[in-house]
Structures are given as structure tokens and as C-alpha cells.
Amino acid sequence: LEYSTVLFERATVERWLGHLTVLLEAMVADETCTLAQLPLLTEPEREQLVHGFNATEAAYPGEALIHELFEQQVERTPEALAVQYEGESLTYAQLNAKANQLAHRLRGLKDASGAPLVGPDALVAISVERSLEMVVGLLGILKAGAAYVPVDPEYPADRIAYMLGDSQAKVLLTQRTLQERLQEAARGDDEGSGEILLLDDEATYAGQPQDNIGRQETGQTSRHLAYVIYTSGSTGQPKGVMNEHRGVVNRLVWMQGAYGLGEEDRVLQKTPFSFDVSVWEFFWTLLNGAGLVMAAPQGHRDAQYLVDVIERAGVTVVHFVPSMLQVFLASVQTGQCVSLRQMVCSGEELPLVLQQRCQERLPSVRLDNLYGPTEAAVDVTWWSCDPAQTEGRVPIGRPIANIRMYVLDEQRQPVPLGVAGELYIGGDGVARGYLNREELTAERFVRDPFSEEADARMYRTGDLGRWRPDGAIEYLGRNDFQVKIRGQRIELGEIEARLAELPAVREVVVLAREAARSEPG
Ligand code: AMP
């Protein structure tokens, strides 16, 4: 007994005794109960895990649309810098005017029967390189009442064709240099090609009004789609995740409350727009009067370029997936990047040694670890890294505003504190589902039995985690064959399915093997 009191805290032992009591009572009460069904949690512990750690309710404009909040910001700071790329820039008023012209143009497009091509829940594909036009395009699509589907022009032609076909986007926005390639890809799309508009051609905007379009005209609500982002799919083709304005607005408003961006801030836009991290880079910045600094198209892969652009533009906020943070830190010399104040990591596990290296190299920069899948409006938990932490895992932290996190067993019952289970996400960030994949949607987006709202749903992540006693979550890996390679989400099954199509291949197994991980730097 003396031994155990040294090793375990009193509260832990009491919790275990509580579990034992609950277990024994249940065994006695119902002899037919299977092992898997036997309960462990005491009522107070269950209450804490399900509700206490998830007391995240916070007010936010749940009816608002992303671009409406941008338009309000335009009123406040029309002359402030909104976006810059190399030597070019646009103020808030200029960006708004241009995006409005595009929106009017989009709303004027009709199909053969005269019906508008663009409206609530209609999808508009956009395939452009990082540029001022990229931002005009995204805002223009939202303002026209539609949702955007980012298509990375670097993708192989048949993947682009698949995305255009699957999304059934009737309009594609692109740039002159990419037009030919995309037209070719669009021909591979069985649905037939739709309208193509060039964002770097003045004719696209010519003669269009510059004023905002109200929701009385578009018929939008905050439960309409804002974007559809494709992620890897285990059946061999990517799947489109449908996110609504409400969840994104909640995520953006939470971020402003947590980090307080001001007019003086410069946020680096370097995440490819086909990843949802880019959503906050664009819109958190533009909803709060700060300036967006667009990195060059290939720039996000080049650490030396990133150091240069941060220094040149006085960037204050930047995002990294941990694998790129490692490469970046190796390129930063002491005394460089002094403008930086906030770094955000997400997308894959943040190793403690990397956190330490970051805090050593850039001691005045706050580093946060955020976690979330595309299926839940970008991020759902957050953790401000503690420079004093010297051992253990860097947590992914606590749920953000209006999000509930659950750590559940195979019966979808909460597991005790400290025990590994699958992470489920409930609350306002949960996406509508997968485009054209009803079965998969039903499998991954299930009813949230812990919510009082009858129609509440939760997303089953496939991630493993456990609660710490302080209400933060530790990430413990995956329960399937999804991997991250340099921050890129890949279902190994997608590669297997494509390889299996080759006539010479009978059976195939794809593994992601970790090369001996070198020390950062
Ligand atoms: P994506 O949909 O591309 O954002 O990928 C989501 C997946 O990335 C999650 O389900 C996790 O497996 C992983 N992930 C995201 N953020 C983190 C993090 N901070 N720590 C560990 N894994 C993460």
C-alpha cells in the first residue's frame, strides 16, 4: 500500500476504485451483460468528460455569412492594405469592389434554359496559382451566393477531371496561363465542360457593378455551403467535404477572440488553397482588418524564400505543418524574422523536440498546436505550447468555442480519463458531409447522443487520443491506414486501389515507412 501511495495520486486511486465499484455493481445487476457493455465510469467522471471539459458555449454571429463579415470590415477600414503579392496590392475597398464585379458577373451566367448557374449550394471550381486574383476569386464566389471548390493546378490532369466531374461545378475560374491545361482536363470530365472565366482578364469584370449583393438577392443562409475541399479517399478517388458558412464563421470568430489580430498584423498566405488551413489564412485576416501577404506559387516549399518574405513584408503570423517548421527553423538565423509574433502548427503531430527548437530559435514567438480534420471547419482543439514543458507529448489541447470533443470506445461510450479512445467531434464546426457519398457520410457523421439537440451530429475522426486530467487531449495516432506525409493527408487505400487497376498487379499493400527521423535542424 505504501508503494502505491508513492506512485499514484490519491485522486487517481479514488477514480479507479470508483470504476471498480461501477463495474462490480453492473455485473451483479445484470448477469447477461457482455464484457464490452459493462460500464466503468462513475456519474461525476462521465459528467466531467462529456460536459465539464466541453463547456465551450460562446456567442458568435451564427446567422452571418463569411463575406458579410468581410463587407463589414471593408466599411471600417476601406483604405487599409488587404492583400499584397510581390509588388502589387489591393486595399479593402479595392478588393471588395473587384470581388463584387466578379460576383455580379457570376450571377449573370445562365444555362441553356436561362436558369442561373450560380446560387446557394451551387459549386464554382477555382484553379489558380497564388496571386491577388486568387483572393478576388474566392470572395467573388462567396459573394455570388455559391461555394468554392479549390482545384490545385499542380494536380495531375485526371485528378482535376475527376474533381470537376464529381463536383459538377458549372463554372470554373482560372488564369490565362492555366486555361489550356484545364480545358483539356475539363474535357475528360464526363459532365461536359461548363463556363470558364479568366480572373486575370479585365473583360471578366468589365461593366459589372462594384456594389455588394445582399442575401435577399442570393437567398443564402449560414447553413449553405461555403466551400468543398477534396481529401484523399480510400476507395481510390478523393472525396469532397462540404463545409457550411456557420461552422467556418464560428471557427474564425473563435480565432479572433483567442489571438486578436489587428490592422498592423501581416498574415502569410502560403498554404495551398486546397487545404483548409488556408481558410483561416484568408478569412481570419480579411475579417479583421489585417494584411494578407501572398507567398509566391512555389514559395511554401522553400524555407529560404519564406525567411525572406517574412522579413521583407514584416509578417507577424504564420502557419506551419510540423515537418515544414523543422525545415524552416534550420534556415532562420539568430536575429531574423523578428516581426513574427505568432506561429500556428497543425496538420500532424508536433514533436516536443520541435517545439523546443522553435522556442529556442524564436523565443519571442508564441507557438500554438491546433488540431482538426477538414470535416470539422479547419480546427477543433487548441493548445498554447508551454516553454516549460520538458517531457511527454505536446497536447492538441482543449475544444475551441462551440465544439465538443469526445473520446469514445467501440460502443461509442466515453472511456475513462487517461485511457485511449477514438476522437469524435460534435458542435457547430461539423461539416454537412461528403459530396455525393451518402453511405460514407452516414458512416462517419453520426448522431451525437451526448447533445440535447435531437439533430446534433458528431464526426468520427479515426484519430486516437486521451483526456488529461486538466481537460486537454493528447493525440495518439490513427486507428486506420490514413497517414500524413509532409502534412498531406493520404489514405493508403487510395494508392492501393489505383495500383490494383494495373493489369500486372494482383494484390497490393502500401505502407508508409518512417525513414530514420533526423533531429530537427
Ligand atoms: P486534414 O483533413 O488534412 O486537416 O487532416 C486531418 C488529420 O490530420 C487529423 O485527423 C489528424 O490525424 C491529423 N492532425 C491534424 N492536426 C493535428 C495535430 N495538431 N496533431 C496531430 N495530428 C493532427
- Taking residues 259-268, report their average pLDDT: 97
| Atom 20 in ligand 1: residue holding the nearest Cα | 349
* 330 contacts 357 by C-beta, under 8 angstroms: no
Residue range 168-195: mean pLDDT, rounded: 83
Residue pair 192/164 in contact (Cβ under 8 Å)? The answer is: no
Q: Return the DSSP state at 182.
A: H
Ligand 1 touching residue 40 (CB < 6 A): no
What pLDDT is attached to residue 521? 36
Ligand 1 contact, 489 CB (< 6 A): yes
Query: How long is the chain?
Result: 521
pLDDT at residue 519, rounded to an integer: 46
pLDDT beyond 80 at 331: yes
The DSSP bridge pattern shows strands 225-231 and 239-244 to be antiparallel
CA-nearest residue for atom 12, ligand 1, is 463
**What are the helix (H) ranges across 260-372?**
277-286, 303-313, 322-331, 352-361
pLDDT band at 292 (very low <50, low <70, confident <90, very high): very high
User: Looking at 81-85, 274-278, 406-410, 504-508, which range is the least confident one?
Assistant: 504-508
CA dist 91 and 86 (Å) reads 15
**Average pLDDT score over the chain:** 94
Task: Name the H helices within 379-423.
Answer: none
Report the pLDDT value the prediction gives residue 153, as an integer from 0 to 100. Answer: 95
pLDDT of 189 > 80? The answer is no
From ligand 1's centre to the CA of 347, what distance in Å?
Answer: 4
- CA 348 to ligand 1 centroid distance, Å: 5
Give residue-wise pLDDT tens across range 419-471: 999 999 999 999 999 999 999 999 999 999 999 999 999 999 999 999 999 99
Amino acid at 244: E
Which of 384, 475, 481 gets mutated to test ligand 1 (max ligand atoms within 8 A of its CB)? 475
Residue 33 confidence (pLDDT) = 87
Q: Is the pLDDT of residue 257 over 70?
A: yes
With beta carbons less than 8 A apart as the criterion, state whether 318 and 281 touch. no
Q: Which atom of ligand 1 is nearest to the CA of 374?
A: 2
Overall average pLDDT of the 22-41 stretch? 90
Specify the amino acid at residue 109.
L
- Of all atoms in ligand 1, which is nearest to the CA of residue 378? 4
List the single range of 112-116, 197-201, 265-269, 326-330 with lowest mean pLDDT.
112-116
Helix (H, G, I), strand (E, B) or coil at 476: strand
Residue 271 in contact with ligand 1 by CB distance below 6 A: no
- Stronger pLDDT, 225 or 189, i.e. the higher one: 225
Is the distance from the beta carbon of residue 429 to the nearest atom of ligand 1 less than 6 Å? no
Centre of ligand 1 to C-alpha 383, Å, is: 14
Atom 9, ligand 1: residue with shortest CA distance = 373
Ligand 1 centre to CA of 311 (Å) is 29
Q: Cα(95)–Cα(82) distance, rounded to whole angstroms? A: 7
The residue behind cell 498546436 is 369
The ligand 1 atom at the shortest distance from the C-alpha of residue 461 is: 10
pLDDT at residue 186 greater than cutoff 80: no
Has residue 1 got a pLDDT over 90? Answer: no
Cβ of 244 closer than 6 Å to ligand 1, yes or no, is no
- Give 36's contacts (C-beta < 8 A, 6+ positions apart): 409, 410, 411
pLDDT at 396 over 90: yes
Tens-place pLDDT, residues 335-356: 999 999 999 999 999 999 999 9
Give tens-digit pLDDT for 129-166.
Answer: 999 999 999 999 999 999 999 999 999 999 999 999 99
CA 166 / ligand 1 centre spacing (Å): 25
* Mean pLDDT, residues 501-515: 89
- What pLDDT shows up at residue 68? 98
Q: What is the distance between the alpha carbons of residues 481 and 234, in angstroms, rounded to a whole number?
A: 9
What share of the chain in percent tops pLDDT 90?
86
Indicate which atom in ligand 1 lies nearest the CA of residue 350: 20
Q: Which of 405, 463, 486, 488 is the best mutation target for the ligand 1 pocket, counting ligand atoms within 8 Å of the beta carbon and taking the most?
A: 463
Q: Is residue 5 pLDDT above 80, yes or no?
A: no
Contact of 381 with 399, CB cutoff 8 Å: yes
Centre of ligand 1 to C-alpha 324, Å, is: 15
Q: Binning pLDDT at 50, 70 and 90, where does residue 41 land?
A: very high
Which of the 8 DSSP states describes residue 100? H
Helix (H) or strand (E) holding 493: helix 492-500
Write the DSSP symbol of residue 86. T
pLDDT of residue 125: 98
Confidence of residue 195 (pLDDT cuts 50, 70, 90): very high
Confirm or reject: Cβ of 494 under 6 Å from ligand 1: no
Give the model confidence (pLDDT) of 461-477 as tens digits: 999 999 999 999 999 99
Does the CB atom of residue 292 touch ligand 1 within 6 A? no
pLDDT tens digits, residue range 59-90? 999 999 999 999 999 999 999 999 999 999 99
What is the reported pLDDT for 192? Answer: 52
Segment 26-55 mean pLDDT: 93
- CA atoms of 166 and 190, how far apart (whole Å): 9
Binding site membership of 397 for ligand 1 (Cβ less than 6 Å):
no
User: How many beta carbons lie within 10 A of that of residue 46, not counting itself?
Assistant: 18
Provide the percentage of residues in the chain whose pLDDT is more than 70: 96
Ligand 1 atom showing the smallest separation from residue 381 Cα: 19
Q: Supply the residue whose CA is at minimum distance from atom 7 of ligand 1.
A: 373
